[in-house]
Amino acid sequence: MAEKLFRAALREALLEEMERDESVYLIGEDIGVFGGAYRITEGLLEKFGEMRVVDAPIAEEVIVGSAIGAAMTGLRPVVEMMTVNFSLLAYDQVVQNAAKIRYMFGGKVSVPMVIRLPGGAGHQLSAQHSHSFEVLYGFIPGLLVVSPTTPEDAKGLLKSAIRTDNPVMFMESMSLYNTRGEVPDEEYLTPIGKAAVRREGADLTILGVSRQVVLALAAAQKLEDEDVDAEVIDLRSIRPLDWKTIVDSVKKTSRLLVVEEGWPTFGVSAEIAAGVQLRAFDYLDAPVNRIGGAEVPMPYNQQLEKAAIPSSEDIVKGALAMVGKKVSA
């Protein structure tokens, strides 16, 4: 398998699905001539033309609303938001329409659309461009919510999202765009609703959301020096959650540490902690531990921003505390 950038894997998925299905089209701000704020859609306007790569005005509610209408009539729009924060301007359309139409129409009308949502901190983009809002969409029935960590999953999950007949919120960590990883040459799909065990372990389970999986794997390497064998799970799908993979891992390791970049109060980690307590309480040797971002608007200052988001060192400290150890000098 060839190694590819995360952003290139996303572009490949869009290209292949647009070639496979003429009902797929893209819409967003600066995605055509400019090639996208993160260069994901570069070259697609020249290949498919302005009817299928639509440069929209700065009006997120209009972009999403028009895509919902197009999806209801048989097209498969892929919306690009410049950041997940900007999707709040279209939140009414997503929650009141995209998520509810299939139910309210008795299943006779579906909304097969994808909304790509770049997010996450680490780039000094300040409070209105930097947050992780997985939970805002994860608790809405009618939506599917996914977040890939590897280039392989970026491509495979995006292709699956485009092909489903349900609205999908596709969360992308901006910090992962320049990461590299192997991507299969042959056609493949990554299933929605299935977590991935990225590292086998015996002493505790570390479950990460999006970029936190990368940090969890780095932490697991450091934990080896402390004689702690950590299992690492990549959540991949936020709605639906893969409870079987999570619970099977907890039954094996008896400890769970959940790491997310978003605010932990009412967060994804809170839902997982509650669910594991319900499903695997008798197997736990310690309370479920959670690590999340600082409960503040994201700072612009570089050092404050760094302090506001979890690090691999935070994960190491949290894991060692769970197994009754301290960080060695």
pLDDT at 198: 97
Q: Single out the catalytic residue among 17, 29, 80, 129.
A: 129
Listed as ranges, residues in the chain with pLDDT below 50 are none
Same domain, 124 and 247: no
Q: Of 183, 210, 243, which residue sits at a domain end?
A: 183
pLDDT at 1: 83
Q: Say which residues have a Cβ less than 8 Å from residue 301's Cβ, sequence separation at least 6.
A: 124
pLDDT at 325: 81
81: tokens are 């938001």
pLDDT at 123: 86
> Is 129 labeled as catalytic in the residue annotation?
yes
Same domain, 96 and 234: no
pTM summary value? 0.95
Phi then psi for residue 180, to 5 deg, are -115, 155
Range of the domain at 233: 196-322
> Is 131 labeled as catalytic in the residue annotation?
no
Q: Of 161, 183, 205, which residue sits at a domain end?
A: 183
Same domain, 171 and 226: no
pLDDT at 164: 98
Same domain, 285 and 136: no
In a domain, 53, yes or no: yes
pLDDT at 147: 97
Same domain, 305 and 230: yes
Instruction: Say how many domains are in the chain.
Output: 2
> What is the side-by-side order of every strand in the sheet holding 256-259?
196-199, 230-234, 204-208, 256-259, 289-291
What CATH number has the domain bearing residue 168? 3.40.50.970
Q: Of 183, 212, 241, which residue sits at a domain end?
A: 183
Distance from the Cα of residue 254 to its chain's centroid = 26
